Each structure stands twice: as C-alpha cells, then as structure tokens.
Amino acid sequence: MSEVRITGVGLHPFGRFGELTGTAMGVTAVRAALSEAGLAAGDVQAAFCGTAYGGVASGHRVLSALAGTGIPIYDVEAGCASGGAALQLGAASIASGQYDRVLVFGVEKMPKGIIRSSFFAPWQEAAGLSPAPAFFALRAQRLLADTGLTADHLAQVVVKNRRHGIANPDAMFRKAVTAEEVLASRMICPPLTLFMLCSPNEGAAAVVLERSRDGVHLAGISLRSHLPGSVLGEDSPLCGIDDTSIDPPTRLAARDAYAQAGLGPDDLDVVECQDTDAARELLAWAELGLCPDGGQADVLARGDAEVGGRLPVNPSGGLLSKGEPLGASALGQVVELVRQLRGTAGDRQVDGARVGLAHVIGRGANACVTVLTT
C-alpha cells in the first residue's frame, strides 16, 4: 500500500433530505472529492460504489450524471462495511498496478426505523427472530455480563459521541444529551434505549485514490468476514457453539491492517469506529486493541476517548450523531480522518493527528479496518 494516497475527499451531509435522491447526494460528494484532487470525472480509470439499499447500478447513475461513464464501475455490497469493501477493492486495484487513479464512493437513502433486509427468510421475520436491535442488545448483555460494565457506561458513550457531534456540521444530531436523558429515552431492547442506537438515514461520501507521493497515505486496509461458530456474530445465525476462542472479524481485520501499516494500537492518534449502538463501540475498543478486554470502564473514567483525551474515538460524533447511511458510513469515517490528518477538522480537530484508524462492522459480519497516515 506504500503508494496509495487519498488526494481528495467529499461528503454529502448525513441526515434526512426528503425527495433528494441518493444519486444527487452521490454527485455532491463525488464532485467535491474530484475537485479537491483537481480532477474531472473523466480522469479516473475506475469507480467503486458502496451501497446496500441503492438498487441496480447505483454507481453508474452517479457517474452518468457526471458524464464520467465508459470506465469500469463496480457496485459493492457488504452490509455496513459496503464502503470499506469498495475502498479495499479500489486500493488493491492501485496497489496491484492495474490503475493509477480511481474513485471510491458510497451512497445510501434508507427508510426510518428497523431496517428490513432481504438477509432473513420470511419465516424468520414472521417468527420475530430478525430484529437487528435485539441482536445488538444480546451482544450488549454479554458485554455487560462479561466485563461488569453497566448501562451507565453505555450512556457515557452516547454522551461523548453526541458532544463530539455538536462540532460536526455534517451530522444529523448536533445537540448534547445527558446520561440521564439517554437512560430515560424509550427502551427499545434492554439494555439499549433509543438514544443508544444509531438511526439509519441518508448521505454520501467519496474519496479519490491515486498512486502518488502527495495526499493522505492509505497505509493499511483489510476486509474480513466472520469465522463460523458464534451465535452473536453479525451474520445473525440461529445457533452457535462455544465461541471463547473464535476471533471476531474486527480482530481479524485489525490484525491485517496493523501489519500492513507496520503500526499498532499504540501508534494511533484518532479513531472512527462502528457505533451502531453504544455497546458496539465499547466492543470495538477491545477488538481493535485500544484497551484490554474489560478495560473500557477505565477508558471512560479517564476521558481518554474524548476529543482532548489520549486517543479520541469518533470525533465526528460517530454514527450515533451522524446516523448510518450504510454504503456511505465507512467512507464518511475516512473523510473525517483525512480532515483530521490534514488538520482541517475545525472545532473537533484532534491536535497533531498523524495516524488514524477507521472501523466498520455489520450485516453478513463483514468488518473493515483502515489505517491512514500523514
């Protein structure tokens, strides 16, 4: 990955935008990224579009609107990791020597509420065995039982990310919440309350990758799926065996990405991680090696993960503030980290950030971990 650099980034804010199409949001993000890189759509040699719900030829629609077709255009679906999968393919196409300059973007426009997914058989939905928040809640229950963490700790994650989100003009929620408000919000699936869950929404993000000496270095990126066995895996199986020695996909992807970059958790200055729910962020801290298993309470108590702390996590406000447009969320993290590493993140700037890590995990149990350096 030594020559793969990010030379332009662009974002359409995450939120709800009425009749505005996913294609229109994609066009906004892509134009911004191309502009930063000093390129036109016709200058890139391939395009990779992450989307889960965009439908047939989502990427083509965006490039058609920009008169940028004629190149290979790949739509990539990997659940919440769709944008990460697109980025991994785009980076590999440059690292392999196939291309010198590619566009990677993600678009999504999702309905409110619990996401309906073609992932489950109709009988499983009818039996009530498909709700994503319930599986999030069961993972959260296990985390609390294994570590002694409590619902108060989950609330502290929400308070942190929502506070960070105030400084992000591209976030959907830009209002601080208190732990009391988080705990008192509507109970969805114990221990998870409404404020502990992110909102599926709409948005787009784009990056230009080039074989170059300029730009932010894509030092490592790995997409991994789950190993068989855990009933709590994001692949949502109906059964599982003892999983105490089965590494979750985030650990697998992190190990790969750290090795590619020649870096480890101690080298990181800033992290954007999957916070579909508050417990998911706390699990990610341990899976990414940011703290030992069970060490999350100490991190929270010290304020380490706050902007201004030892290793800020989700300075963008995370998905809890931004919402989660699946295909765009991973690239939204990358856009945030590029701005952090450039020192242009405004009021949420992490001082002196030189190494950043982005992490997503989701349906199908695909995890993507990306390491960026200045």
Partner 1 sequence: MSPRPIDPSVLRVDDDGVTLLGGWSPSSGLRHFPASPVCPFTGADDIEPLDLPRSGTVWLHTTVTVAPPGYLGPVPYGLGIVELDGDPMLRVVSRLSGDGLARGAPVHLEGEELPGPDEEPSVTWVFRT
Q: Using the minimum distance from each CB to partner 1, give the nearer residue, 71 or 129.
A: 129
For 37, 163, 307, 315, 350, the CA distances from 167, given in Å and listed in that order, are 25, 8, 11, 9, 12
Closest CA to 119 of 276, 250, 249, 236: 236
Q: Using the minimum distance from each CB to partner 1, give the nearer residue, 225 or 373.
A: 225
Q: Using the minimum distance from each CB to partner 1, give the nearer residue, 17 or 120.
A: 120
CB of 144 to partner 1, least distance (A): 10
One of 49, 80, 273, 291 is an active-site residue; which one?
80
Can you give the C-alpha Rg of the chain in angstroms? 19
- Residue-wise burial string across 218-239, b where 16 or more C-beta atoms lie within 10 A, e elsewhere: bbbbbbbbbeeebebbbbbeee
CB of 240 to partner 1, least distance (A): 5
Contact between 183 and 157 under an 8 Å Cβ cutoff? The reply is no
Q: Using the minimum distance from each CB to partner 1, give the nearer residue, 233 or 332.
A: 233
Q: Which residues contact partner 1 (rule: CB under 8 A)? A: 113-116, 120-134, 137-138, 141-142, 145, 186-191, 228-229, 231-232, 237-242
Does 198 qualify as catalytic in the annotation?
Answer: no
CB of 121 to partner 1, least distance (A): 7
Please give the angle made by the CA atoms of 115, 338 and 374, to the nearest 5 degrees.
140
CB of 183 to partner 1, least distance (A): 15
| Positions marked catalytic | 80
